[in-house]
Structure formats: structure tokens, C-alpha cells
């Protein structure tokens, strides 16, 4: 992991509000990817923006009109335009010169797509590549963990208090805690398997068991819950 990426993870974890996330952290994400433009959208906040911008976003974030958004909704995975369409088709879908290359990633809360973080590059810049997608995947995991933790604390303090009493890390085996640690670092199932000398399918089955034990439905929820308890392996 690069030091700049680690610093970005730390900055995300220390952010206090969604407004700070938008004004302070997302520009750093844009800078990391050498983007021309960048942004973050939480779907439940779209009704609060300017009406003209709201109408533009309805089209831009439409599953019907935008194949990138359709990919995010269907797969909950980062994507750039070259994965889902041809350059000619993309220039018709999005003719803006500063959106010649587009990369976006999902923000997940309790198994649901609640937002999108995106970066664009103009035509003169290089396209986003596989490494960019891998880095964005790790960033989106941390964003999702942050959103899950912040929203659960602000909307249900009783539930957060109850969860803290369960000490979920105590119900996981040492190997499961190892897997959780690697998930928190943004590793894929294949990478976790390679690092722990087990098969990718073993990782998948372990995650299913961990989800059941912790009563969560996503990797982000799992990491948020374990981090809440300041586990020595995750803290």
C-alpha cells in the first residue's frame, strides 16, 4: 500500500461529517487520481440541491441513460467508461470534454447503494486503468465503512450502544479476524486467499460465516462494527 493511500484512509476515518467529507476528503481523492473534476453524491440528499442541478443529476445518475451507474447498481463495484461502452458511444452519452474519461465507485450502507464517488479526466489525460480501479475499490470500502458508522451513530444511538455490548470480535476465530483485517485494508478475496495461503472459495465461505455471526450484510458493515470495538487487529 502506498503511503499516500494510507494517509487517505486515515483522513476518511477522522472526518466528522458528510459536509467535511465533500469539502475536505473528496478533493484529496481527486488529487490522488490526477482528476480534472471530482465529486461525491449521496442519493438521499439530491432533493436538497439546486433544482437545475437536481434535474441534471437525475439524468446523469440514471440507470437507463448511464451505463456506469447501471454497472454500479448491479455490481456494487468501481467502474470506468471503457469497461461498459465504446469511446464513440460514451462521447454521445456524455459529450463534455472534461468528462472524456470517467471513473466511479459505490458507497454502500447496510447492503444498499447510498452514494457514488467519481472522478473525471479530460481528453488530453490518460484513461483510468486497472490499478486506478483497485485503488478506488479500497477507497470506497473505507468510505462505506465511514458512512455506515456515522449514519448508524446519528440515527440509532440505542442500537449502537447495544451493539457495543455484544463485543462481536469475541465471536470470531483468529483466522476470521485475520480475514477481517485484510478486508479493512481493501484486499480482494483472491488477494486474501493468497496472503493467508487458503483458496478464494475458503475466503468467501469464511465471510459468509462472519456475516451471520455479526448480523451484517456487507464487508463495509462488518469492518465498521469491528472497528467500533477498537479490535487490536483492526485499530
**Span 35-86, pLDDT tens digits:** 999 999 887 765 444 455 445 555 556 667 788 888 988 899 999 999 999 9
- Which percentage of the chain shows pLDDT scores above 70? 80
Q: What is the pLDDT of residue 49?
A: 47
Delimit the CATH 1.10.10.10 region(s) of the chain. 157-228
Cell of 19: 459536509
Average pLDDT, the chain: 81
Q: What is the pLDDT of residue 26?
A: 94
SS3 string of 98-166?
A: HHCEEEEEEEEECCEEEEEEEEEECCCCCCCCHHHHHHHHHHHHHHHHHHHHHHHHHHCHHHHHHHHCC
We find that the CATH architecture of domain 3-154 is 2-Layer Sandwich (3.30)
Q: Is the pLDDT of residue 100 over 90?
A: yes
- DSSP letter at 5 equals H
Q: Which of 112-116, 149-153, 167-171, 231-235 has the highest mean pLDDT?
A: 112-116
Q: What is the pLDDT of residue 198?
A: 87
Q: What is the pLDDT of residue 109?
A: 86
CATH of 157-228, one of 1.10.10.10, 1.10.10.60, 3.90.650.10, 3.40.50.280: 1.10.10.10
Amino acid at each position: 500500500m502506498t503511503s499516500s493511500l494510507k494517509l487517505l484512509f486515515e483522513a476518511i476515518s477522522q472526518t466528522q461529517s458528510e459536509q467535511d467529507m465533500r469539502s475536505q476528503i473528496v478533493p484529496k481523492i481527486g488529487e490522488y487520481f490526477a482528476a480534472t473534476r471530482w465529486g461525491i453524491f449521496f442519493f438521499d440528499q439530491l432533493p436538497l440541491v439546486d433544482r437545475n442541478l437536481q434535474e441534471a443529476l437525475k439524468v446523469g445518475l440514471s440507470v437507463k441513460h448511464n451505463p456506469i451507474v447501471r454497472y454500479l447498481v448491479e455490481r456494487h463495484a468501481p467502474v470506468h467508461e471503457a469497461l461498459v461502452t465504446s469511446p464513440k458511444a460514451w462521447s454521445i452519452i456524455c459529450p463534455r470534454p472534461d468528462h472524456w474519461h470517467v471513473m466511479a465507485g459505490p458507497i454502500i450502507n447496510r447492503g444498499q447503494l447510498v452514494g457514488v464517488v467519481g472522478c473525471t479526466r479530460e481528453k488530453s489525460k490518460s484513461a483510468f486503468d486497472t490499478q486506478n480501479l483497485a485503488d478506488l475499490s479500497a477507497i470506497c470500502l473505507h468510505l462505506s465503512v465511514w458512512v455506515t458508522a456515522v449514519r448508524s451513530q446519528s440515527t440509532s444511538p440505542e442500537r449502537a450502544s447495544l451493539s457495543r455490548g455484544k463485543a462481536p470480535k469475541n465471536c470470531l476465530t483468529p483466522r476470521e479476524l485475520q480475514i477481517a483485517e485484510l478486508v479493512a485494508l481493501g484486499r480482494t478475496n483472491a488477494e486474501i486467499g493468497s496472503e493467508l495461503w487458503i483458496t478464494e472459495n475458503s475466503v468467501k465461505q469464511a465471510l459468509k460465516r462472519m456475516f451471520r455471526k455479526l448480523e451484517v450484510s456487507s464487508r463495509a458493515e462488518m469492518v465498521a462494527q469491528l472497528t467500533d470495538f477498537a479490535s487490536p487487529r483492526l485499530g
